[in-house]
Structure 1
Amino acid sequence: MEQVATITGTFGPGAPDWHYLPVEIPEGVREIEVVYRYDKPDVPPGVRGNALDIGVFGPHEQFRGWSGGARDRFTINATEATPGYLAGPLQPGEWQILLAPYTVSPQGMAFEVDVTVRFGPDGPAFRPNPAPSTAPAADRGRSWYRGDGHVHTIYSDGRRKPGELVADARKAGLDFIVSTEHNTSSAHLQWGDHATEDLLILNGEEVTTRTGHWPAWNLPAGTWIDWRYRADDPQRLRKFVDEVHESGGMVVAAHPFGPCVGCTWEFGYERADLVEVWNGPWTLDDEATVIAWDSLLRAGRWIPAVGNSDSHTHNDQVGLPHNVVLADGLTGPQLMEGFAKGRNWIAESSAVQLEFTATADDTTVGIGETLRTDPGTPIALEIKASGAPDTHVRILDQHGPQWGGYVPAAGATVTWTTQSRYSKWVRVEIRREQPTSTTRDTMVALTNPIFFR
C-alpha cells in the first residue's frame, strides 16, 4: 500500500539557489509524505552554518507547497495538507521536490530526503473557504482605516494559528490585515474559517527571493507568485510584478535594510509601489530605511511609505507598527487606491492619533496630496497629535528637520508656516526620547508627505 525511497546528496558552499529532485508519481497514489534532514556542523563565530529550505511542485510546474525551513516534513492528499501546502489529488507524472540551500557551511551540507507514496482511493475533496471580501461591521465609508500588511501564521514560519492572529489583530484595534505567508498561497483557502465582521482579511504573499522580500498585497484567493530569481534577473521580477498588478494587487519592498541573509532589498525601487520603511519594533535598520526613503524624496522620487509588524511569534506585537490609510471604504480595491495615492501614515499603536494638514488661502489638503500656490503665499501647517504622551513632533522638508513641538499626555497642536519657494514637500515624524538597543530614540508615528507646487 506504500512505497518509500530515500534520496541523498551533498551541497558545497557554492551550491545553486534551487535544486530539484524528480519523483515519479504513478497512477493510484492518494498521498505523498516527504521527510528531510541535513547535517549541521559547528562553525566559528561569524561563519554561516547550514540551512536548507524545501517545497514541492507537481507535474508541469504546478505549485503544491512551500515551508522553507519552518518544518522538516510535509504531507499532501486530496483532503488535507500540511500548512504551507495545497491539498488536492496527486496527479500522476513527474513531481519535483525543491531543495533550496539558504546558507551552506564551509564543510558543505549532506542531506537525505525520504519520500513515501501511499496508494488507495482519494478521501473527500478539500473545500476552500477564503475570507469574505468585506467586513461590514468595520466599514465606515470614507474614513481612516488601520491595518497591518505583513503578518505570518503557521501557514509559513509563524507560530500563531490563524484564529490567534485574528484575535490579536482585533485586540490591536485594526480594521484589516494582509495575510503574507512566505512563498505560498495555502493560507488564502482557510481564512473564511476565522473571519469576523469587524476585520477585513486580504490575501497576499511575501515573495521571498534571495535578494529581497516583497509582499504582494490584495491577491485573488489562491493566487501564487513565483520567487525563484535574484536581482540580477530583472525581467523575471517584471513578469511577476505585472502579474500582481493585473490581479489588482500592489508590490511592497519589505524591510530594505533587514539584517538577515537575503532580506536586504537589492532590486531597486523602479518596480515597487510601496516601501516598508518601518518593520516591527523600531531598530537601526528602520532608521536606515527612513533615511534612504527621505533621500529618494529629496531626489524627486516618491514611493509611498508603509509600516507593518512582520509578526511571526506570539511575542511579536501585531500592529506594531501599522498603517492608517484614508479610503472610500473597507474593501481591497479601495484600500489599495488609498495606498497608491500615499494617503496614509504609520503608527506604533491604535492609541496614537494624528492629523496633518496644509492650508493656503482657502484651500486645505492632507497627507499624500498636493497644494498648488504662488511661490510667496504663506502655507500654514497644522499637526494635531494625541495618544503619544511625552513625545516630540518633528517637521521635515527637503532641507531636513525644520520645526518641532512637545506632545504631553493631553495631546498637542503644532503649527508651522512655509512657502512653496522654500519647501517642495513637508512630512511629519513623532519620536519618543527613549533609546532602543540600536537607536537613540523610538519612532511613534511617521507620515507620507504633503507636496507643494
Structure 2
Amino acid sequence: MCEDERDNGMARRALFVTGAAAALTLGGVTFASGAGAAGRTETRTVSGTLPVGAPDFVYLPVEIPPGVREIHVAYAYERPSVPAGTAGNALDIGLFDERGTELGGEGFRGWSGGARTEFFVRADDATPGYVPGRIRPGTWHLALGPYTVAPQGLSYEVTLTLTYGEQAATPAPVYPPSRAKGRGRAWYRGDCHLHSWYSDGRRTPAEIAALARAAGLDFINSSDHNTHSSHPHWADQAGDDLLIMLGEEVTTRNGHVVALGTDPGTFVDWRYRARDNRFGRFARRIRRAGGLVVPAHPHATCIGCGWKFGFGEADAVEVWNGPYTPDDEVALAEWDNTLVASVRSESRAWLPAMGNSDAHRDPDAVGTPQTVVLADDLTREAVQEGIRAGRSYVAESKSVVLAFTVSGPSGEHAGIGGRLKAAADAPVTVRLEVTGAPRCTARFVTDEGVLFTSDVLPVSGSGTVEWRTTAQYAAYVRAELRHETAAGPVPGALAAFTNPIFLGT
C-alpha cells in the first residue's frame, strides 16, 4: 500500500527552543496507526519554502506507528540562479528519534549534511552517517539545516517511506583498541582531521587506513562532520602499526572544532552559535569523554568555517590545514601572537599548534600535513598528552624530520614544548637539525619576530642550523622551514614548523 500526501510545511509552524537558539518546527506528518503485513510500505511527501533568514534548524515531526522496520527519507530542493556574490541554496539534513531534539543529542540518529539526497535507518543497518537501532514508535524529527538561502527562498520536498515488518537485532559495536605496539618514548606521526564516507568524504575507513600507512603515519583520528556513526567501523583497520582514535568534527555555524580521541560512541552536538554561550558545555563534554578540544582551520574563508568561540576552552589549535594556503599563514601568525600572552601569564599556559590534512577524497593527500608528537608510547592517552604539552612539530610529509633544541652555557637543554631555565643574559644556543627538506630555508621566530634566517639547504635536504641568543632577547624561539618563493619578501610555503621552546626562569 502506498499513499501520497502533500503539505506546505510553512503553513503550519511554531517556534520552539532547543536549549540554545530558536528553531522552527513544521506541521507534523502522520502514518497509519497500526502495522500491516510484513513488507508493506507507506509514503508521505511534504513540501515547503524556507525564506531568507530562516532559523539554523527546521524540524519536521514524523509520527512513527508501531511495527515499522525501516525509515527511508529522500529530499530535494531548488537551486535557482543567484546574482554574483550572493549565496545560493544549500540544505542539510539529519534525523532524531522519539527521544527528542533537545540540545545534547540524546535522540540523535544521524546527520549527512548536504552529502546525500536520501538515507535509511533500520535496527541492523543504516546509511553511512546514521546510527542503526530499534525503530520505536513515537514522534521522530527530520532536522533540516538551511545552510544558505537564496533571495528567492529555499523550496524543498521531503519524501518519507516506512516499511513494516519484524526488526532484526542491532549488532554490538566493536571499536579499535586504544593502543598500538609503539616504540616506547619516541616521535610518532599522525593526522587527526580526516573525513570518510560516514560524512562528506568519499573514502572508506579501509582506504583511509591504507593511505595513512603509505604516508608513514603511526596514528589517525576519525573526524566526520557532526556524527559518530563511523566509530564501530574502524576496528578492523587498526593494527600494531596504526593507532586509530575516534572523534568528530563538530561543525557549527560559527566555526569547526575537532573532538580528538574521545571515548568510542561519543556524540558531540553542534546546534549552537557563539552568541548562544553553549560551547563551553560541549568542550567539557569532549574532555569528559577523554578527548581534546582542537579548533580547526580557524581562519578558513568558507561560510561558517571561521572560528568565533575564542580559545579559552581549547587544548590545541589546528594552524595548518591541508595544502598550505594564505589562511594558514594568517592562522600561524595569529597563533604566534598568543604565545606572548603566555609569557606574561603566571600560569605560563600556552596553546600548542597542530597540522592535519582535512582530507575528504582524491586528490586530497592523507598526512599532508602531519603532526609529529613526542609521546611515551603509541596509546591514545600518551599521544594526547604529547599534543597537549606541545611536544610536537608539523611537517608536510614523512620525509621531513626535525630535531630542535636549545642549550645553555652549563649544558642544560630543552626540547620542543619545553622551557630552558637560564639567566636573562646567559648565552643560549638554538640548534635545528633537518632532513628531507631540499632547498628550504630555516627561520627562527621569537616574540620579536623572525630574528634569524639560514642559507638555503642543499638539494640533499639535510643540514644543521645554529643561532645564539639570550633569554633577555628572546622570550621563546620556534623554528620554521620554508620553501623557496618567487614573490619577493613574501615567505614561501611551510615545509615544517615547530611548537616553541620558552627561555628564562
TM-score (normalised: structure 2): 0.87
Give the corresponding residue for 2:305. Answer: 263
Quote how far apart the aligned CAs of 1:196 are: 2.9
Quote how far apart the aligned CAs of 1:407 are: 1.7
In structure 1, distance between residues paired with 2:441 and 2:244? 34
2:355 partner letter: G
Q: How does 1:362-441 map to 2 (within 5 A)?
A: 362-405=411-454, 406-410=456-460, 411-434=462-485, 441=492
Give the corresponding residue for 1:347. Answer: 395
Identity across matched positions, percent: 49
Give the corresponding residue for 2:323. Answer: 281
Give the corresponding residue for 2:167. Answer: 122
Give the corresponding residue for 1:149. Answer: 192
Quote how far apart the aligned CAs of 1:340 are: 0.8
1:408 partner letter: P
In structure 2, distance between residues paired with 1:243 and 1:366? 32
8 Å CA contact retained: 2:219, 2:245: yes
Which deviations, in whole Å up to 9, do the C-alpha atoms of 1:239-277 show, x marking residues without a partner?
111111112110011001111100001111111111111
In structure 1, distance between residues paired with 2:395 and 2:95? 39
Quote how far apart the aligned CAs of 1:298 are: 2.6
In structure 2, distance between residues paired with 1:142 and 1:435? 40
8 Å CA contact retained: 1:151, 1:311: yes
Instruction: Give the match's secondary structure for 1:164.
Output: helix
Quote how far apart the aligned CAs of 1:297 are: 1.6
Indicate how the Cα distance of structure 1 residues 445 and 182 shifts in structure 2: closer, same or farther if over 3 A, else same. Answer: same
In structure 2, distance between residues paired with 1:356 and 1:172? 23
2:384 is the counterpart of 1:333? no
Quote how far apart the aligned CAs of 1:125 are: 2.4
2:240 is the counterpart of 1:240? no
Which deviations, in whole Å up to 9, do the C-alpha atoms of 1:289-320 show, x marking residues without a partner?
11111111233373100000000112000000
In structure 1, distance between residues paired with 2:142 and 2:239? 37
In structure 1, distance between residues paired with 2:139 and 2:412? 65
2:134 partner letter: P
The runs of 5 or more residues in structure 2 that have no matched partner are 1-39, 101-106, 343-348
TM-score (normalised: structure 1): 0.97
1:305 counterpart (345, 353, 364): 353
Which deviations, in whole Å up to 9, do the C-alpha atoms of 1:121-161 show, x marking residues without a partner?
0124223221122222xx01100000001000100000111
Instruction: Give the match's secondary structure for 2:331.
Output: helix
Q: How does 1:23-102 map to 2 (within 5 A)?
A: 23-61=62-100, 62-102=107-147
Which deviations, in whole Å up to 9, do the C-alpha atoms of 1:26-58 show, x marking residues without a partner?
111111000011100011221100000000111
RMSD: 1.2
2:501 is the counterpart of 1:450? yes
Q: How does 1:170-319 map to 2 (within 5 A)?
A: 170-234=213-277, 236-300=278-342, 302-319=350-367
Instruction: Give the match's secondary structure for 2:407.
Output: strand
* Count of paired positions: 448
8 Å CA contact retained: 2:205, 2:234: yes
8 Å CA contact retained: 1:404, 1:414: no
8 Å CA contact retained: 1:435, 1:442: no
Give the corresponding residue for 2:369. Answer: 321
8 Å CA contact retained: 1:213, 1:254: yes
The runs of 5 or more residues in structure 1 that have no matched partner are none
Quote how far apart the aligned CAs of 1:9 are: 1.5
